[in-house]
Amino acid sequence: MPAVSKGDGMRGLAVFISDIRNCKSKEAEIKRINKELANIRSKFKGDKALDGYSKKKYVCKLLFIFLLGHDIDFGHMEAVNLLSSNKYTEKQIGYLFISVLVNSNSELIRLINNAIKNDLASRNPTFMCLALHCIANVGSREMGEAFAADIPRILVAGDSMDSVKQSAALCLLRLYKASPDLVPMGEWTARVVHLLNDQHMGVVTAAVSLITCLCKKNPDDFKTCISLAVSRLSRIVSSASTDLQDYTYYFVPAPWLSVKLLRLLQCYPPPEDAAVKGRLVECLETVLNKAQEPPKSKKVQHSNAKNAILFETISLIIHYDSEPNLLVRACNQLGQFLQHRETNLRYLALESMCTLASSEFSHEAVKTHIETVINALKTERDVSVRQRAVDLLYAMCDRSNAPQIVAEMLSYLETADYSIREEIVLKVAILAEKYAVDYTWYVDTILNLIRIAGDYVSEEVWYRVIQIVINRDDVQGYAAKTVFEALQAPACHENLVKVGGYILGEFGNLIAGDPRSSPLIQFNLLHSKFHLCSVPTRALLLSTYIKFVNLFPEVKPTIQDVLRSDSQLRNADVELQQRAVEYLRLSTVASTDILATVLEEMPPFPERESSILAKLKKKKGPSTVTDLEDTKRERSVDVNGGPEPAPASTSAVSTPSPSADLLGLGAAPPAPAGPPPSSGSGGLLVDVFSDSASAVAPLAPGSEDNFARFVCKNNGVLFENQLLQIGLKSEFRQNLGRMFIFYGNKTSTQFLNFTPTLICSDDLQPHLNLQTKPVDPTVEGGAQVQQVVNIECVSDFTEAPVLSIQFRYGGTFQNVSVQLPITLNKFFQPTEMASQDFFQRWKQLSNPQQEVQNIFKAKHPMDTEVTKAKIIGFGSALLEEVDPNPANFVGAGIIHTKTTQIGCLLRLEPNLQAQMYRLTLRTSKEAVSQRLCELLSAQF
Amino acid sequence: MQFMLLFSRQGKFQLQKRYVPLSDKEKKKITRELVQTVLARKPKMCSFLEWRDLKIVYKRYASLYFCCAIEDQDNELITLEIIHRYVELLDKYFGSVCELDIIFNFEKAYFILDEFLLGGEVQETSKKNVLKAIEQADLLQEDAKEAETPRSVLEEIGLT
C-alpha cells in the first residue's frame, strides 16, 4: 500500500482497496467484495446508529465497488443522509455517490433535491459549489425542473463568489443542453453577456461556454457578446506572455479562453461595426504573425496551446470566408504544417485545408500543396492521416489537376487499407465523371477501378459507367474495344463481366468488323466467364446473348444451342430458367424485324443526379462543400464557353420564389432542369445533396414531384433514398393542422445525431406557425421514428416550409432537405351552395385583382372522375349541377387562417380536343387566388 | 466534451466521467470498443482519431491512458492540453502522481476533475485556483479527523 493518503483518513478504505488489488483471481475479488458488501449491509442495518465518518467510509467503499464494475443496490439512503452533514468531506462523498449512482427513485430524488436546495441557500460558497457540481453532473430533467429557474439568479447575483458563478454558469449550460425548455430566458441574459467583462478570468472562461450555447438558439438576444468577445480576445492576444499570471499556460496567455472566444465568434457572421471588425482582424493577424515567431519554449505543451489558438483562428477565418488575404495566409500556414514533424499537426493541417479548399479565395492556394499531399498519401504511417490526405485530394480536385489526382488515388487504392477502399472507389468514380473532358479517360479509369478494387465497386458505380456510355455515342466504340480487351485477362472481376456483358450486348457490333473481335469471338469470350459468375450476372449475360442474336445473325445457332442446353433450360434458378426459355423462344419465333424492335439499342438514360454521388454524398462534410463550390466554378466556365443555361435556372438561383424552388434548384447547378450545359455530358451530375455543415442542403431531387402529389392528399411517402424514407400523415381542420412525419431507417446501421429541422423562411414565418419536439437522435437500423408537427395558419402564405434532416450514417454526414407539403389549400373548408348563390358570389368577385386564370396543357389523361377526386382532395366542395356546361367543374370553399377567412370559388373548364384546361380562381384576396391557381394547375 | 476516460495499459478503468447521458448497456459496449481501439494504436501515431461520430483525443502517461471524446466542432489540440493540465493538477496535488495514487484516492481524482471541468467544459484553468478549492476541503477534513481520532484507532486494529 502506498504511503499516500493525503488529507483523508479513511484507512479502512485503503485496506479494502489494497485487498482487492492483491486478489489473484476474479473469483477471489468477487469473494472479497461480497464479504465487504455483507459487512456494509449489516452496518447499515445494525441497531447502532452510525456516525457520519463511518457512513462516509462505507459509502465510499460502495462507490469503489461500483466503479470496479459491480452493481450496487443499496446505500443510496445513507449517501443522501451524508448530503445534510455539515462536515464538508462527508457532504462531498455523499454528492459524489449521488452523481455517479443516481437512480430515479422518486422519493430519493425529492430528498436529494431538498439537500441541494438547502446547500444552494446556505450562502456557504463551498457548499453551493458542491450542490452545483452535483446538478451539473446529474443533469437530469427532474433536477432541471427543480433548479433551472434558481441558477440564473445565483449566476448574476452581485454577491455570488467567483467560484460559485463559474459553477453556476456551467451547471446552467448542462441543464440547458439537456432540457432547453426548462431554462427561462429573461432579464438575466443581458447580465450574463456582461460576464465577458468580468475581472476574474475563470468566470469569463465558464461564462463563454454558456453564452456560446445559448446564442445559437437566440442569436439576437446575445448579439452584444460580439464586441465584448472581440475586445476580450484582443486584450489576451496582445498581452505579454506573463501578464495573465496563472492563466498563462506554457508562455501562452489564456489558451482555453482564447479558443472559446474564437468559437463564440463563429456563431455569428463577421461583425458589422467597422471598428469591431477592424479590431478583430487585427487579432487574427496577430495570431497568424505569432505562428511565425520562434517558440518561447521547446515543450510540446507550448506549441500545442499556441497552435490550438491558431487552428481556431483559421476556423474563424474560414467561417467568415470573406477576407481573401487572411484565407491565403491561413493556407500558407497550414502548408507549413503539412510537413511538420508532429503527426498531430500534419493531421490537423490536412483536415483544416479541406475546408479551405472550398473557399473560392483559397482554392488555388490549397492546390499548390498537391505534391505534399500526394506524398503524405504515400508515406504517412498512420491510416487516419492518410484518410485525411485522401479527403483533401478530393476536395482540391478540379479540372486542372483531376488526371493527376485520379491517377494517384488509383495507385494508392492498390495498397489502401480495407476500411477506406469503398470510399476511395466512390471518390475516384465521381472525380472521373465530373472532370472527364475525354470520355475514353473516364472509361479507362472506371475499368481500372474494377480491376484494382472490384470488390469495393458498388452497383452504383458500374451502373453509372453504363449509363454514360449509352448516353455518349462518341465513346461507345472505344468502350466496347476496351472491355473486350479487359475481358481477355484470365481472371477478371465479376463486375467487369457485368460491364463487359452489357456494353458488348449493346455495342459489340461496333468492333465486330475486326476479325480479332468477331461476333463469335466476343460470344466465346463472354461465355467462358459464364460459369464462374453469380446468378444475377448470368442473367445479365443471357440478355447479352439474345441481343447478340439480333446484332449478329451468324451466331444465332451457337447461342440457341447454349440456351437450349439443360443447364439453362432446366436451371434450378427460376430467373435463369425463365430467361433461357423465353429468349430461346423469342429467337425462334420472332422475325428479324420484331427481334430488331424488341432488342433495339437502349435509349439514352434521362439525365439525373448521379447515383454514385447520391451514395457518396457528403461522405465527408468538407469535401462536399467543395463539390458545391466546384460546381459554381464549373458553371461559370460553362456559361462563358458553352451554350446559355436555361433561363429558368438562372432565375431560380436569384429569386427563391416557390415556383422556382419547384424546379429543385436552390444553389444546385442547372443539371436537373433544362438542357445540360454541354450536350450529353451527363450534365456533370453534380451532387444536389451537397451541404456545408451549417447550410441546409439544396432540395433533394425528385422531391418537387412528391411535393406536388401531396397538394391533393395528406398521406404517403414524401421522400425516399437508399438510406432514408420519410412518410407523412396529416390532418387539417380550419386553420389548424397536425402532421405526423415518419422517418424510416432503411439500412441495418444506426443513424446518429439524427436531427430534423423545420425551416420557415423569413417570408413565411409570420404566416405559418410550426411546433414540434426534437426526435431521438439515434435511429436504429430498420427502425422508424415519428415526429408530430402542430401547424397553425396565421394568414395566407405562398412558400412551403423546408424539412432539413441531418444525421450521421456510418461515420459520414448526411443532409437531406425536402419541401414539406403544407400548402394554403390544406386550410380549406368546403362550402356547399346552389347554382344561384354560386353565380351571385362569382359576380361579386369580379374585380380584376380577385380573379386569376390559367390556361394550360393537360399533363395527365383527362379523366372526369380523377379530376373530381382531385378537386375534392384539394379541399373545396365540388358543386354538381351548378355550371350550365356539365363538362365543367366548379368548387367553393373557405380558407381559414387565424386572422381571417377567405372565400374561394373555382371553375375548371376542360377542352378534350385541345387537351387543355382553363382554370379560374376568384377569391377576395389576390395572393390567395394566385397561389391556389398555381397549386391546382399543377395537378392536371 | 462528451466523456473522459482513464484506463491502464491492461484496459482497467481508473476513472470514467460522462457529460452526456448514455444507457448502462451502451456505456459498457462503447467504452470497451473504444479502449480496444486506442490500445491497439502504435506510439508514434497521431493523438486524434475519428470514432463513430465523435473525435477521440488521447494521450498516454506512463501506464495510464487519458482519453477524451469531443464533438465535431471542438478543438483537438486544446483538448490534448486539457488532459495535460489535469495530469499536472493530479501531479501537484499528490506530489508526482502515480497510478496507485489515483487508485487509492479515486474520490480525489473526481473532485479535482470537477473543479477543473464541469458539464464537459473547462471551468477553471488556473492551477492555483483549482488546488485552492481542493486544499480547502482537505483542511476541513483535518479538522474533522482530529475529532474522529478514537475511531481511527479502532479501525487500525481491523475493526472496519
**Could you give phi then psi for residue A527, rounded to 5 degrees?**
-70, -25
pLDDT tens, residue by residue, A734-785: 888 889 899 998 888 888 889 898 888 888 888 998 888 888 888 888 888 8
Contacts of A67 in chain B (CB under 8 A): 13, 16, 106
pLDDT confidence of residue A675: 31
Residues 23-42 of A with CB under 8 A from B: 39
SS3 A769: strand
If phi > 0 it is left, if psi is from -120 to 50 it is alpha, else beta; for residue A698 that is beta
Strand order in the sheet with A751-759: A751-759, A802-809, A812-819
What length does chain A have? 940
Cell reading at A379: 508515406
* Confidence bin at A402 (pLDDT 50/70/90): very high
Task: Give the A window 541-570 contacts with B, CB below 8 Å.
Answer: none
Question: Which residues in chain B touch residue A4, judged by CB atoms under 8 angstroms apart?
Answer: 94, 100-101, 104-105
Reported as type and span, the H/E element at residue A36 is helix A26-45
pLDDT tens digits along A802-841? 999 988 887 778 888 888 999 999 998 888 888 888 888 8
- On whether A53 is known to bind a ligand per the annotation, the reply is yes
Residue B157: inside a domain, yes or no? no
Distances (CA, A) of A728 to A85, A699, A711, A803, B85: 56, 17, 12, 12, 51
Amino acid at A522: Q
> What's the one-letter identity of residue B50?
E
Task: Consult the annotation and say whether A267 binds a ligand.
Answer: no
At A884, the pLDDT band (50, 70, 90 cuts) reads: confident
Dump pLDDT digits (tens) for A518-548.
999 999 999 999 999 999 999 999 999 999 9
Strands (E), A826-915: 828-830, 851-857, 877-879, 889-896, 901-911
At residue A156, φ and ψ (nearest 5 deg) are -100, 0
Mean pLDDT of chain A: 84
Q: Are A8 and B108 in contact (CB under 8 A)?
A: yes
Q: What is the pLDDT of residue A647?
A: 33
Q: Return d(Cα A468, Cα A438) in angstroms, integer.
A: 12
Q: How far is B64 from chain A (nearest CA, A)?
A: 16
B-contacting residues in A 690-749 (Cβ below 8 Å): 693
Q: What domains does chain A contain, in order, with CATH numbers?
A: 44-291 (1.25.10.10), 321-396 (1.25.10), 703-822 (2.60.40.1230), 825-938 (3.30.310.10)
Residue ranges making up the domain that contains B49: 3-150
Separation of alpha carbons A697 and A683, rounded Å: 20
SS3 A805: strand
- pLDDT tens track for A73-125: 888 888 999 998 888 889 999 999 998 887 666 678 888 999 999 999 988 89
Query: From the list A15, A166, A387, which residue is nearest B123 (CB)?
Result: A166
Instruction: For Cα atoms B2, B8, B11, give the angle at the middle one, nearest 5 degrees.
Output: 80
Q: Judge contact between A451 and A423, C-beta under 8 A.
A: no
pLDDT tens for residues A124-145? 898 999 999 999 998 888 889 9
pLDDT tens digits along A80-92: 999 988 888 899 9
In this complex, do A173 and B101 lie within 8 Å of one another by their Cβ atoms?
A: no
Strand partners, A717: A727
Burial A803-826 (b: 16+ CB within 10 A, else e): bbbbbbbeebbbbbbbbbbbbbbb
List of chain A residues whose C-beta atoms are within 8 Å of the C-beta of residue B93: 6
pLDDT at A451 over 60: yes
Hey, are the CB atoms on B124 and A206 less than 8 Å from each other?
A: yes
- Put simply, the answer to whether B119 touches A312 (Cβ < 8 Å) is no
CB proximity under 8 Å: A 830-859 to B: none
Q: What is the structure's pLDDT at A162?
A: 93
User: Does any domain span residue B73?
Assistant: yes
Smallest Cβ distance to B75: which of A21, A133, A311? A311
Can you tell me the mean pLDDT for A494-508? Answer: 93
A60 is in an annotated binding site: yes
- Partner residue facing A174 (CB), from B80, B100, B119: B119
**Each residue of A209-267: pLDDT tens digit?**
999 999 998 898 899 999 999 999 999 999 877 778 889 999 999 999 999 999 999 99
- Give B2 or A9, the one with higher predicted confidence: B2
Rounded to a whole number, what is the distance in Å from the CA of A354 to chain B's nearest CA?
A: 14
pLDDT at A685: 29
Of the listed ranges A179-183, A496-500, A635-639, A908-912, the least confidently predicted one is A635-639
Q: Which of A309, A194, A195 is nearest to A241 (CA)?
A: A309
Interface test with A, best of B41, B44, B118 (most A CBs within 10 A): B118
Rounded-to-integer distance, Cα A833 and Cα A890, Å: 11
DSSP letter at A342 equals -
Q: Please judge whether A753 and B105 are an interchain contact, meaning their C-beta atoms are less than 8 angstroms apart.
A: no
Task: Measure the CA–CA gap between B131 and B134, rounded to whole angstroms.
Answer: 5
Overall pTM surpassing 0.80 (yes/no) = no
Q: Which residue has the higher pLDDT, A853 or A3?
A: A853
Which amino acid, one-letter code, is at A139? G
Q: Is A12 annotated as a binding residue?
A: yes
> Which residues of chain B neighbour A808 with C-beta distances below 8 Å?
52-53
Does B25 reach chain A within 8 Å, measured CB to CB?
no
Is the pLDDT confidence value at A610 over 80? no
**For residue B143, what pLDDT is reported?**
58
Beta strand extents in A345-504 (DSSP E only): none
pLDDT mean over B96-106: 89
Contacts of B140 in chain A (CB under 8 A): 87-89
Question: Distance (Å, rounded) from C-alpha A130 to C-alpha A119?
Answer: 8
Measure CB to CB from residue B76 to each of A93, A246, A348 and give the nearest one. A348
pLDDT digits (tens, 9 = 90+) for A666-694: 333 333 333 333 333 333 323 323 333 33
Say what the ipTM of the complex is. 0.90
Which residues on A lie below 8 Å from B46 (Cβ)? 343-344, 346-347, 382, 384-385
Q: Is the CB of B129 inside 8 Å of chain A's CB atoms?
A: yes
- Classify residue B16: in a domain, yes or no: yes
Residues 61..120 of B with a Cβ closer than 8 Å to A: which?
72-73, 75-78, 80-82, 84-85, 93-94, 98, 100-101, 103-108, 110-111, 114, 118-120
Confidence of residue A697 (pLDDT cuts 50, 70, 90): low
What is the percent of chain A where pLDDT is above 90?
Answer: 44
- Say how many domains are in chain B: 1
> Which pLDDT band holds residue B151 (cuts at 50, 70, 90)?
very low
Helix, strand or coil, per DSSP, at residue A252: strand
Could you tell me if residue B111 is inside a domain? yes
* CATH number assigned to the domain comprising residue B15: 3.30.450.60
Give the DSSP H or E segment for A157: none
Residue A625 exposure: Cα atoms within 13 Å on the Cβ side: 23
Q: Is A927 left (phi over 0), alpha (psi -120 to 50) or beta?
A: alpha
pLDDT at A671: 31
- d(Cα A606, Cα A502) in Å, to the nearest integer? 18
CB A75 within 8 A of CB A102: no
Residue A143 CB coordination number (10 Å): 25
What 3-state class would DSSP assign to A777?
A: coil
Whether chain B has a CB inside 8 Å of the CB on A348: the answer is yes
Q: Looking at residue A685, what DSSP letter applies?
A: G
pLDDT at A604: 81
**What is the share, in percent, of chain A residues with pLDDT greater than 70?**
88
Spell out the residues 6+ positions from residue A315 whose beta carbon is closer than 8 angstroms to its own: A262, A266, A352, A355
Distance CA A461, CA A15 (A): 65
pLDDT at A94: 93
B93 vs chain A: nearest CA distance in angstroms?
Answer: 9
Question: What pLDDT, on the 0 to 100 scale, is given for residue A277?
Answer: 95
pLDDT score of A654 more than 70: no
A458 pLDDT band, cuts 50/70/90, is confident
Whether A11 and B155 lie within 8 Å, measured CB to CB: yes
Yes or no: say if A139 and A174 are a contact pair by the CB < 8 Å rule. Answer: yes
Report how far apart, in Å, the C-alpha atoms of A838 and of each of A223, A888, A927, A928, A930 are: 55, 14, 21, 19, 20
Q: Residue A818, annotated ligand binder?
A: no
Distance, CA of A856 to CA of A839 (rounded, Å): 24
- Determine the pLDDT at residue A617: 61
- Tell me the mean pLDDT in the region B140-154: 50
